[in-house]
Amino acid sequence: MFTEADIATIVLTLKLASVVTLLLLLIGTPIALWLARTRSWLKGPVSAVVAMPLVLPPTVLGFYLLVAMGPEGFVGTFTQSLGLGTLPFTFWGLVVASVFYSLPFVVQPIHNAIAAIGNRPLEVAATLRAGALDRFFSVVLPLARPGFLTAAILGFAHTVGEFGVVLMIGGNIPGETRVVSVQIYDYVEALEYANAHRLAGALVLFSFFILLSLYLIQGRPRHAKTRRVQN
C-alpha cells in the first residue's frame, strides 16, 4: 500500500514523535507543577510564554528557531563550540523545534490535572513526612494520571501532524528530516494525488483514534464518579 519512501517517512515521524513526547513530559511536568502551585507574579508571563505556540504562526516560531540555531545564533554558536555543528536540517533540530511547538499541548493538561487535586492531599502527605519526590510519585502522579495520559497523547499527535515548523527547521531531506506531513506536501506538488490520499487518509484515521482515546480517558473518571454517587 505504501511505498518505501512512505514507510521511511512514517518510521521517522514516529521516532520524532516518541522522542519529543518523552522530552516534553520531562520538561513540561516541572513547569506544570510550578504553575499549579506558585503564587509568584511570574506565573502570568511564564504561562503566556508557554502558550505562545498556540497563537503564533508556525513559520514565525520556525524562523526565530532557525536564526537561534543557525551558525550566527546563540544556540548555534554554543553547539558549534561543543563540536556538534548546527542543528537546522538535522533530526535533532526537528526535535528541538517540536519540543517548543508542542509544549503547551503537554503543559496545560498536566497543569489542569494537578490544579484539580488541590492542596489538601499534599498537605496530608507532608504531615506524614513524605518528601517532595515521594509526594509527587505517591500522590500527584496517581491522582493526575488522566492529565498525564492526555498530555502524552496530545504531544505525540501534535508532533506527528506538524508541518510549518518542521519544514522551516528541517527542510526536506529524505531519511533525515522528511516527515509524513512534508511527504504529503511533496505528493501534492507533484500532482500525485493517489499517493497523497493514502498518507493523508492514514493521518485522518490516526487523528480519529487519538481523539477517541482522549474522550475515553476524560470520560472514565466522570463515569466512575457517577457510579459512586448512585451507590
Alpha-carbon span 155 to 158, nearest angstrom: 5
CB-based contacts of 145, cutoff 8 Å, min separation 6:
113
CA end-to-end span of the chain, whole Å?
51
Alpha-carbon span 94 to 3, nearest angstrom: 23
Q: What local confidence, expressed as pLDDT, does residue 220 receive?
A: 61
Q: What local confidence, expressed as pLDDT, does residue 52 receive?
A: 92
**What residue ranges do the domains of the chain occupy?**
4-222
Contact 76, 90 (CB under 8 A): no
CATH tag, 4-222:
1.10.3720.10
Alpha-carbon span 73 to 39, nearest angstrom: 34
Give this prediction's pTM: 0.85
Question: How many residues are listed for the chain in this entry?
Answer: 231
The residue among 156, 32, 34, 180 whose CA lies nearest residue 102 is 156
Full pLDDT tens readout for the chain, 231 residues:
788 888 899 999 999 999 999 999 999 999 999 998 888 899 999 999 999 999 988 889 999 999 999 888 899 999 998 888 889 999 999 999 999 999 999 999 999 998 888 777 777 777 776 777 777 887 888 888 888 998 999 999 999 988 889 888 988 888 888 999 999 999 898 899 988 998 899 889 988 888 888 888 777 654 444 344 344
Alpha-carbon span 28 to 147, nearest angstrom: 12
Q: What local confidence, expressed as pLDDT, does residue 93 receive?
A: 92
